[in-house]
Copies of this chain bind each other. A is one copy, B any other.
Amino acid sequence: MVFTLETRDAKTMGRCGRLSGPHGTVPTPVFMPVGTQGTVKTLTSQELVDLGARIILSNAYHLYLRPGDQLVAEAGGLHRFASWPLSILTDSGGYQVFSLQGLSKVTDEGVRFQSHLDGSYHFFTPEKVVDIQRNLGSDICMVLDECAPYPCDYQNARTAHERSVKWALRSLEHFRGNRPVHSKEQALYAIVQGSIYHDLRTENLQTLVEKKFDGYAIGGLAVGEPADIMAEITELCTRQLPEELPRYLMGVGRPEDLVTAISLGVDMFDCVIPTRNGRNGTVYTSEGKMVLKNRRYESDFDPIDRNCSCPACRHYSRSYLRHLFQAGEILAMRLATLHNLYFYMDLVGRARQAIQRKKYDAFMRQFFTDYQTNNKSANE
């Protein structure tokens, strides 16, 4: 996918542009709904298109384990398998291997880990993870990286950073040395690591930028650090990343994190928050979060948000949604997921418009005036 930078905001580092590739064009900034197992939980492809999604995220680690990237290749790639006609970014699985597994073992060659499904042993190398993503046929592939936890001492952060750089370079070499399985061109993004240490982040980033990847992700954030550190490290990176290439802040985040990060020049986001929280009955409005299971909504016949025109708000009341959650009905999870993704899409879309008008600072100020936040930690 080719990135075109269109507009820079006047007073913030905010920017908008577009990513164009074999499965269409994606205006940025963009939020990518998460479809870990080849499906954005509870939704059909058509519903995602209707919500305005132009790119979704899926996960090489999960699809490798089940149903298997070979099977997806046999189906004609992930777009055909999942009946998703637009763009797909696949995460490499580095984050999963290091976070889901207690029993992963890293060497410079790669990482040995146990499947979270059946305990079977597997070995990922940077090359293998590229091959998996070739089989999946995603539009954007991510390199295998070692994601340091938070907090992480300097020495461990340095080790993870150095290994991540080596793996990124091996990934790029392997990626350039072979062709797509499904004929359509794929892009490869590097992932900047280095924990919260400025010198490590800078060293990591500069080495990767020299190699001219198709885009740059900021990894190792949204792993439990405070929101101000997330913003600090994000800005450290975006100030040094090339203007002409897309920047992707991985795993972020809460609505307020997106609004902040967009002001720092981030173009792409993904997070399970709107979908996961939706399934648990937490929905988002311009005034903050709302826990639908709360007794106060028992006989509240208003929609979640009077100003929202999502399918849930057009037809259903808080009272009915609360009943569905109390009764354990699947429709509750669907409707809350739809609403939350609609909220995220709308928020990022309005952020884009504000940048186009070069008034992102006013947009951001208004958002934080209306929206009840707490700043305890990111990704709550």
Can you list 26 pairs linking A and B with CB atoms under 8 Å apart?
A37-B327, A38-B320, A38-B323, A39-B331, A41-B329, A42-B330, A43-B331, A44-B311, A44-B315, A44-B331, A66-B326, A67-B319, A67-B322, A67-B323, A67-B326, A71-B298, A71-B299, A71-B319, A74-B299, A74-B301, A75-B301, A75-B317, A75-B319, A81-B317, A330-B333, A330-B334
Residue of B nearest to A279 (CB): B330
Q: How far is the CA of A301 from the CA of B43 in the complex (A)?
A: 20
Residues on the B chain within 8 Å of A39, using CB: 324, 327, 329, 331
With A44-B315, A45-B315 already in contact, the answer to whether A298 and B67 are too (CB < 8 A) is yes
Whole-angstrom distance between the Cβ of A115 and the nearest chain B Cβ: 13
Residues on the B chain within 8 Å of A74, using CB: 299, 301
Q: Is A121 an interface residue (CB 8 A)?
A: no
Q: Is A152 an interface residue (CB 8 A)?
A: no
Residues on the B chain within 8 Å of A319, using CB: 67, 71, 75, 81
Q: 9 more A-B contacts (CB under 8 A) besides A37-B324, A42-B334?
A: A41-B331, A44-B311, A44-B315, A44-B334, A46-B311, A76-B301, A81-B319, A81-B320, A83-B315
When all copies of this chain in the complex are counted, the total is 2
Q: Is A229 an interface residue (CB 8 A)?
A: no
Residues on the B chain within 8 Å of A322, using CB: 67
Whole-angstrom distance between the Cβ of A327 and the nearest chain B Cβ: 5
Indicate with 1 or 0, residue by residue over A79-100, a CB within 8 angstroms of chain B CB atoms.
0011100000000000000000
User: Which residues from 31 to 59 on chain A have a C-beta closer than 8 Å to any C-beta of chain B?
Assistant: 37-39, 41-46
Residues of A within 8 A of B (CB): 37-39, 41-46, 66-67, 71, 74-76, 81-83, 298-299, 301, 311, 315-317, 319-320, 322-324, 326-327, 329-331, 333-335
- Contacting pair A66 B330 (CB below 8 A): no
Residues on the B chain within 8 Å of A76, using CB: 301
Q: How far is the CA of A41 from the CA of B66 in the complex (A)?
A: 27
Whole-angstrom distance between the Cβ of A48 and the nearest chain B Cβ: 11
Whole-angstrom distance between the Cβ of A338 and the nearest chain B Cβ: 9
With A71-B299, A311-B44 already in contact, the answer to whether A83 and B330 are too (CB < 8 A) is no
Q: How far is the CA of A75 from the CA of B299 in the complex (A)?
A: 8
- Contacting pair A316 B83 (CB below 8 A): yes
- Contacting pair A320 B66 (CB below 8 A): no
Residues on the B chain within 8 Å of A316, using CB: 83
With A83-B320, A315-B83, A320-B83 already in contact, the answer to whether A327 and B71 are too (CB < 8 A) is no
Whole-angstrom distance between the Cβ of A300 and the nearest chain B Cβ: 10
Residues on the B chain within 8 Å of A301, using CB: 74-76
Q: How far is the CA of A179 from the CA of B242 in the complex (A)?
A: 73
- Contacting pair A330 B331 (CB below 8 A): no
- Contacting pair A331 B83 (CB below 8 A): no
